[in-house]
A and B are shown apart, each in its own frame.
Chain A
Amino acid sequence: MISKRVYAAWFGIHFFLITAVCFAGLFSLVAEGTTILPSALDTYARKAELLAAWLLGKQAAASNPIRRSVATYLHAAGIQSGYTFFAPNIPNYHKLTLELYYQDGRVEYESPHVRGKAAALRLDSLLDRLADARYEPLREVVVKMLALSVLREHPGVKKIRATFGSVSPPSISDFEHGKGELFQPMFSYDFSLREEGSSGR
C-alpha cells in the first residue's frame, strides 16, 4: 500500500476542491437574491463566491496551467459543479416553438424533439440553459441548430420562426380554479433557407 500520507494528502486536496465548488454554488444562489436570506447578504455572498472561484483558479487567465489543471481534474472526477439541483426554488421551464412556413403557404408548428426519455431530459436541460444570461452569445447559434434538426424532417419548408419563451406553471390554487400555464416569449429568430442567414428579433 502506498504511504497512507499520500492517500491522506489526496483526500484533503480532493475534498478541499469539492468544498470550494459547493460553496461557490451556494454563494452564487444567495448572490442572485433567489433565497429567503435578506438581500443585504447578496454583496457578501458575491464576494464569497469570487473567493471560492479564486480558490479553484477560475480568476486566472484561461491559459494558466494551474487553472487548466484544476479544471481538468474537476471534470475528470465529476465534481466541477455543486449540488444545488432543484434549489433554492423550481424555476419556470422553457419552450422553443418553431413555426414552419412551407412554400405552398402552409404553416405548421413543431418543437425540437428526441426519441428517448433520457435524451428528452438533456434537451430540457439545454433549453433551461439558453434562458441564462451567460449563454446569451450562444443562443442564436443553438436555436439555429435546433431549427435545422427539425428542418431536416420537413423538406419543403422555406422559412422558420423560432420563438423561445418561459413557461410559468400554475400554482395549486390557480390550477384548482382552472388556470393553465402561462407562456411568455423571450426572444424569436427568423431563419430563411434561401438567404442562408438569420435575423434575430
Chain B
Amino acid sequence: MTPLGSASDVWKRVIEFLFPPETDKWLAVFRIGLGLQVVVYTLFLRSDWHSLFSGTGKGLVSRRLGEAITSFDSPLIPKLGWLVFLGRHVGIGEETVLSVAWACLLCMGCCLLLGLFCRPAAIIAWFLHLCAAESGGLLAYGAYNFMTMALFYLMLSPLPDRYSVDRRLVKTKLRDPRLLGFWRRVLQVHLCFVYFFGGLAKSLGSGWWNGSNLWRSLIRPPFNLISPDILVRFKYALPVLGISICLIEVGYPVFIWMKKTRFLWLVCILAMHAAIGLTMGMYLFALVMIVLNLAAFGVGIRIPFMRHPAGGARDFTQSFPKKQLPA
C-alpha cells in the first residue's frame, strides 16, 4: 500500500470512530439528567444564592473579588457582574438581578427536564451556570466544572431528541444519526480523560495504596457524614477500596470500550459515585458524574445474562432507514 493510501485508510478509520450512527436515546438521558442536575443545583443553593454572589458587602466574599480573579485569566469570560451591570442600566437593582438569574436557571432546568425549548434552554442554562461558577470562582469546586462541561456539550448536541416536548409539538425530522454519534463520542472520550488522569494522579499518592486517604477524606468536615467509630470497624477494607478506586479509574479508558467488561466497569464507576454522594454528601458531584456515565456508556449497553434482540449488539444502524445514514 502506498503512503497516501495508508493515510487515507487511517483517516477513514478516524471518521468511522468519530461518527458512529447512534439513536437519540443517549441524548434524552443526557438532557433529562442535566435538567435534574440544574434543578437540584439551584434548589440546593436557594438559601445561600445572594450570600454567595452579592457584590455589595452583604455576601460571604464579595462577588467582585472572584470576578476580578477570573478577569485576570480573560475579561471575556462571562460573569454575573455583566448581568448586574445590564440590570443597573435599566434601573434594576443587584438583588433583583440575582433573584431573576436564580429563577431563570431553575426554569431552564425544568425546561430541560421536560424537553421544552431544548436548545435555548440548554444555552441559557450553560450561560447562567457559567456566570455563577466564574463569579464564585474562589468558592467553586470540581462539580461545577463538570456541570459547565456537560451543559457545554448539551447545547452543542443535536437537540431536540424524540422524547422531548419540542418534538411532539413541532414534528421535526430525526437528527443525523452520525452527528448524534459524534457528540456521544466526544462525551465518551472526555470521560476517559477524566478517569485516566484522575486515577493516575491518585495512584501517585501513597495514601491510596494503604487506605489512609479514604480515612482522611471520610473524617474531614464537611464530608464527615459517617462516624469515625463506624469507619474504624472497616479499617482493613480501606486499602482494598483505595486500590480498587485507582484501578477502576486508570482502567476505565480500556475496559469501558471492551464489550465483555463494559457493564462491569460502568456498574463499578456508578457505584463509586453513588458511594461518594451518600458517604461524603457530595450529591451534586455524584449526580452529574452518574448522568455523564449513563449518557456516554449506559444507554444501549448489553447487560450480561439478559436476552437481547438481534444478538444484543449495539447495532444502531437498525434504528434508522438507510437513506438517513450519510456516507
* Residues of chain B within 8 A of A145, CB atoms compared: 60-62, 65
CB < 8 Å: which of B74, B151, B222 contacts A72? Answer: B74
Known A-B contacts A77-B148, A114-B51; the reply to A93 vs B220 at CB < 8 A is yes
In the complex, the answer to whether B18 meets A4 with C-beta atoms within 8 Å is: yes
What's the minimum C-beta distance from B203 to chain A, rounded to whole angstroms? 8
CB < 8 Å: which of B145, B202, B219 contacts A81? Answer: B145
Cα distance A126–B41 when bound, in Å?
19
CB < 8 Å: which of A11, A167, A169 contacts B186? Answer: A11
Mask: chain B, 25-63; 1 = CB below 8 Å from A; 0 = not: 000000000000000010011111001100001111110
Q: Does A62 reach chain B (CB closer than 8 Å)?
A: yes
Cα distance A148–B62 when bound, in Å?
11
Known A-B contacts A36-B205, A36-B206; the reply to A83 vs B198 at CB < 8 A is yes
Interface members, chain B 210-238 (any A CB < 8 Å): 211-213, 215-217, 219-222, 228, 232, 235, 238
CB-CB nearest in chain A for B75: A68
CB < 8 Å: which of B57, B203, B220 contacts A90? Answer: B220
Cα distance A67–B18 when bound, in Å?
29
Mask: chain A, 68-91; 1 = CB below 8 Å from B; 0 = not: 110110011111111111111110
Q: Does B163 reach chain A (CB closer than 8 Å)?
A: no
* Residues of chain B within 8 A of A43, CB atoms compared: none
CB-CB nearest in chain B for A122: B139
CB < 8 Å: which of A15, A30, A118 contacts B41? Answer: A118
Q: Does B1 reach chain A (CB closer than 8 Å)?
A: no
What's the minimum C-beta distance from A122 to chain B, rounded to whole angstroms? 4
* Residues of chain A within 8 A of B179, CB atoms compared: 1
Number of residues of chain A lying within 8 A (CB) of chain B: 70
In the complex, the answer to whether B152 meets A76 with C-beta atoms within 8 Å is: yes
In this complex, the member of B69, B141, B150, B208 whose beta carbon has the largest number of chain A beta carbons within 10 angstroms is B141
- Tell me which of B106-114, B130-138, B300-308, B314-322 binds A: B130-138
Q: Does A44 reach chain B (CB closer than 8 Å)?
A: no
Q: Does B207 reach chain A (CB closer than 8 Å)?
A: yes
Cα distance A78–B77 when bound, in Å?
11
Q: Does A39 reach chain B (CB closer than 8 Å)?
A: no
* Residues of chain A within 8 A of B194, CB atoms compared: 83
* Residues of chain A within 8 A of B216, CB atoms compared: 89-90, 169
What's the minimum C-beta distance from B81 to chain A, rounded to whole angstroms? 15
In the complex, the answer to whether B70 meets A75 with C-beta atoms within 8 Å is: yes
In the complex, the answer to whether B60 meets A149 with C-beta atoms within 8 Å is: yes
CB-CB nearest in chain A for B73: A71
Q: Does B142 reach chain A (CB closer than 8 Å)?
A: yes
In the complex, the answer to whether B145 meets A148 with C-beta atoms within 8 Å is: no
Q: Does B170 reach chain A (CB closer than 8 Å)?
A: no
* Residues of chain A within 8 A of B70, CB atoms compared: 75
In the complex, the answer to whether A126 meets B74 with C-beta atoms within 8 Å is: no
Known A-B contacts A19-B193, A75-B74; the reply to A126 vs B138 at CB < 8 A is yes
Q: Which residues of B contact A (CB under 8 A)?
A: 14-15, 18-19, 41, 44-48, 51-52, 57-62, 65, 69-70, 72-78, 130, 133-134, 136, 138-142, 144-152, 176, 178-179, 182, 186, 189-190, 193-195, 197-198, 200-208, 211-213, 215-217, 219-222, 228, 232, 235, 238, 281-284, 326
Per CB-CB distance, the 6 closest pairs between chain A and chain B, nearest first, are A88-B205, A78-B148, A78-B149, A87-B201, A119-B48, A122-B139
Q: Which residues of A contact B (CB under 8 A)?
A: 1, 4, 7-8, 11, 14-15, 18-19, 22, 25-26, 29-30, 34-37, 62, 67-69, 71-72, 75-90, 93, 112, 114-126, 129, 138, 141-142, 145-146, 148-149, 152, 167, 169, 171-172, 175-176
Give 30 CB contacts A-B under 8 Å.
A15-B189, A15-B190, A18-B193, A29-B204, A35-B204, A78-B148, A78-B150, A83-B195, A87-B198, A87-B202, A88-B203, A88-B205, A88-B206, A93-B221, A114-B48, A116-B46, A117-B222, A118-B41, A119-B47, A119-B52, A120-B222, A122-B141, A125-B140, A126-B138, A126-B139, A129-B138, A142-B138, A145-B60, A145-B65, A149-B51
